[in-house]
């Protein structure tokens, strides 16, 4: 009698397992808390984002976090800053998958961020032959050395599906011999749907990424592009703000994700920031027309997990495109005067730490071509090229 064919052994991670392993992990966590004290968050915090970490109770394992916003508002910079802060705080690896910017370009931004040199200098100018720039480069390399082995930058392919992304996670886990890893993807709209499921393709991707976070038991942060209507809304001052409904190609992001955050420009505070910069330029005897380009961005906490300690609706950031710096200002305060005072204090701190510099007067500049004309919509930055004579060209932005 012919023996029945035995099924092949399934080598994939099993969805059904006993409670023994997770229970051991919980008991181990109890022991850690007994030795080190109370944990500040349920998930993993980020030192440079204390208010965001507090509001979300950290970035949690098994949870999908989506940051929804325009590339013009510095979405990629915020994701990269979160990744670096996560590494520095938790000493855990980060897999940063970008579909829009290759690793080389992100490395230029990291060098600019850590050195204080603007992107124009890092990209085009002589660096090693200038003693001041060479010293800044050395400083940036020393800082990068502290986390470079934890940060893994990968270029996403247009054919990459969620299954292929999961394989990447398994590969890096095996190579580093650790289960603990943060996955950051920019952006979810660039991930190819695995197959036609009858659902909206974008919805399918979000569902799959949420399942991956739970299945692999890791925190995942996705960047999300916004629609043209959202882009136009974000350029206008008004009560209507960019929200999760503006996510491109997603029917209802708020229903699908675990944590949903939208980035939107705060026009009132950004205008006040510009006035304060002009005031500081005047006090320093610098150019009041060509100013360091900075912007205030609100992170709207639209959806959070159970156990999050949200007593407010938004966190404010100060964002720079030209050198990639992102500074968390704190919880959005209701009174204008308190927010403006905090912005002024932050500017003074940045000047004191030499992380923001002003320009010398340019005798060849015309008021009509300056950023004060109101026609400048380029992303903000923290240029450190004080003393330049020729007007600084705008950096072309990649629009996701």
> How far, in Å, CA of 292 to CA of 288, rounded?
10
| Per-residue model confidence (pLDDT) at position 119 | 84
pLDDT in tens, 72-111: 999 999 999 999 999 999 999 999 999 999 999 999 989 9
The pLDDT confidence band at residue 365, using thresholds 50, 70 and 90, is low
Number of separate domains in the chain: 1
Task: Answer yes or no: is pLDDT of 375 > 70.
Answer: no
| Per-residue model confidence (pLDDT) at position 290 | 87
153 alpha-carbon distance from chain centroid = 14
Q: Which span out of 38-47, 79-88, 197-206 was modeled with the highest average pLDDT?
A: 79-88
Per the structure, the complete domain to which residue 267 belongs is given by: 40-373
Token readout for 367 is 């008021």
| Lowest-confidence region among 293-302, 326-335, 366-375 | 366-375
- What is the pTM for the complete model shown? 0.83
Q: Coil, strand, or helix at residue 118?
A: coil
Q: Greater confidence, 27 or 164?
A: 164
Nearest to 80 by CA among 56, 55, 64, 98: 98
| Per-residue model confidence (pLDDT) at position 36 | 79
What is the arithmetic mean of pLDDT over 187-213? 88
Token readout for 54 is 């507090």
CATH at residue 159: 3.40.50.300
Task: Answer yes or no: is pLDDT of 329 > 70.
Answer: yes
CB-based contact 229:198 (threshold 8 Å):
no
Q: Greater confidence, 39 or 277?
A: 277
Is 363 a domain residue? yes
Residue 360's H or E segment, with its range, is none
CB-based contact 59:221 (threshold 8 Å):
yes
Is 338 a domain residue? yes
Is 347 a domain residue? yes
Task: Answer yes or no: is pLDDT of 385 > 50.
Answer: no
Is 28 a domain residue? no
> How far, in Å, CA of 49 to CA of 66, rounded?
16
> How far, in Å, CA of 136 to CA of 118, rounded?
11
| Per-residue model confidence (pLDDT) at position 264 | 96
> How far, in Å, CA of 269 to CA of 201, rounded?
37
| Per-residue model confidence (pLDDT) at position 198 | 67
Task: Answer yes or no: is pLDDT of 26 > 90.
Answer: no
Rg (CA), the chain: 23
> How far, in Å, CA of 242 to CA of 221, rounded?
19
The pLDDT confidence band at residue 382, using thresholds 50, 70 and 90, is very low
Size of the chain, expressed as the number of residues it contains: 400
pLDDT in tens, 232-266: 999 998 888 999 999 999 988 999 999 999 999 99
The pLDDT confidence band at residue 16, using thresholds 50, 70 and 90, is low
> How far, in Å, CA of 54 to CA of 75, rounded?
21
Number of Cβ within a 10 Å radius of residue 130:
14
Is 287 a domain residue? yes
Is 24 a domain residue? no
Paired sense of beta strands 220-224 and 151-155, if any: unpaired
The pLDDT confidence band at residue 400, using thresholds 50, 70 and 90, is very low
78 alpha-carbon distance from chain centroid = 2
Number of Cβ within a 10 Å radius of residue 271:
12
| Per-residue model confidence (pLDDT) at position 366 | 57
Is 51 a domain residue? yes
Tally helices (H) and strands (E) across the chain.
Answer: 12, 9
């Amino acid at each position: 009698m012919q023996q029945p064919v035995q099924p092949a052994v399934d080598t994939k991670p099993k969805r059904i397992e006993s409670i023994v392993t997770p229970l051991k992990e919980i008991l181990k966590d109890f022991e850690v808390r007994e030795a080190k004290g109370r944990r500040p968050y349920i998930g993993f915090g980020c030192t440079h984002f204390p208010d965001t970490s507090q509001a979300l109770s950290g970035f949690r394992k098994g949870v999908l976090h989506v940051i929804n916003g325009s590339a013009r508002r510095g979405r990629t910079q915020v994701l990269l800053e979160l990744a670096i802060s996560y590494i520095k705080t938790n000493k855990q690896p980060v897999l940063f998958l970008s579909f829009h910017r290759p690793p080389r370009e992100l490395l230029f931004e990291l060098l600019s961020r850590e050195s204080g040199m603007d992107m124009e200098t890092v990209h085009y100018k002589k660096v090693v032959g200038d003693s001041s720039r060479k010293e800044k480069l050395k400083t940036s390399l020393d800082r990068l050395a502290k986390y470079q082995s934890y940060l893994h930058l990968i270029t996403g392919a247009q054919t990459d599906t969620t299954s292929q992304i999961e394989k990447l996670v398994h590969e890096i886990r095996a190579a580093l011999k650790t289960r603990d890893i943060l996955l950051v993807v920019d952006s979810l709209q660039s991930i190819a749907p695995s197959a036609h499921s009858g659902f909206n393709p974008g919805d399918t991707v979000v569902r799959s990424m949420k399942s991956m976070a739970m299945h692999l038991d890791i925190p995942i942060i996705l960047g999300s592009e916004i629609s043209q209507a959202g882009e136009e809304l974000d350029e206008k001052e008004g009560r209507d703000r960019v929200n999760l409904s503006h996510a491109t190609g997603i029917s209802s992001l708020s229903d699908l994700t675990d944590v949903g955050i939208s980035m939107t420009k705060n026009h009132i505070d950004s205008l006040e920031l510009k006035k304060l910069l002009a005031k500081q330029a005047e006090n320093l005897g610098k150019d009041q027309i060509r100013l360091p380009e900075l912007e205030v961005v609100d992170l709207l906490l639209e959806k959070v997990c159970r156990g999050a300690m949200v007593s407010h609706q938004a966190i404010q950031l100060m964002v720079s495109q030209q050198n990639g710096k992102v500074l968390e200002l704190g919880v959005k305060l209701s009174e204008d005067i308190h927010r403006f005072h905090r912005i002024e204090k932050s500017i003074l701190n940045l000047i004191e730490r030499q992380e923001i510099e002003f320009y010398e007067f340019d005798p060849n500049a015309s008021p009509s071509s300056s950023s004060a004309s109101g026609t400048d919509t380029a992303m903000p930055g923290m240029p450190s090229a004080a003393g330049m004579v020729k007007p600084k060209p705008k950096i072309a932005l990649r629009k996701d």
